[in-house]
């Protein structure tokens, strides 16, 4: 199999398995990976300092994503809804954590 086919296969696998790559959280029809305002609050993401739009700036917010889990315990690297400590593939790259060298 040529490298080109392998890379194309891996890319398609990534798009199918990585929900973040195909996610539209603001409902505006623009994939989040290309959207400059993912929460549609009118503030560009690079300047947006209130990710969950609760009126509390992130540096003072104990729950930045309003999921009911305090920030200090809430770490979900691939945003799949499964906390890293319970996720067998925490970075959603298709490689189990125990074999994934960049997760150690």
Q: What is the pLDDT of residues 54-102, one digit of tens each?
A: 888 878 888 877 878 787 777 887 878 888 888 888 888 888 888 887 6
Number of domains in the chain: 1
> For the segment 2-39, what is each residue's pLDDT rounded down to a tens digit?
666 666 666 555 555 554 555 666 677 777 778 888 77
pTM score: 0.38
CA 99-22-42 angle, 5° bins: 125
Domain of residue 93, residue span: 3-103
Q: Is the pLDDT of residue 53 over 70?
A: yes
**How far, in Å, CA of 57 to CA of 50, rounded?**
5
């Amino acid at each position: 199999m040529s490298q080109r086919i392998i890379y194309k296969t891996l890319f398609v696998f990534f798009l199918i398995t990585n929900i973040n790559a195909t996610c539209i959280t603001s409902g505006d029809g623009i994939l989040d990976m290309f959207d400059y305002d993912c929460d549609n609050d009118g503030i560009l993401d690079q300047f947006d300092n209130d990710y969950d739009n609760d009126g509390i700036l992130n540096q003072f917010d104990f729950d930045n994503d309003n999921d009911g889990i305090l920030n200090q315990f809430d770490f979900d690297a691939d945003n799949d809804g499964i906390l890293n400590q319970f996720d067998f593939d925490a970075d959603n790259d298709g490689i189990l954590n125990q074999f994934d060298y960049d997760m150690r």
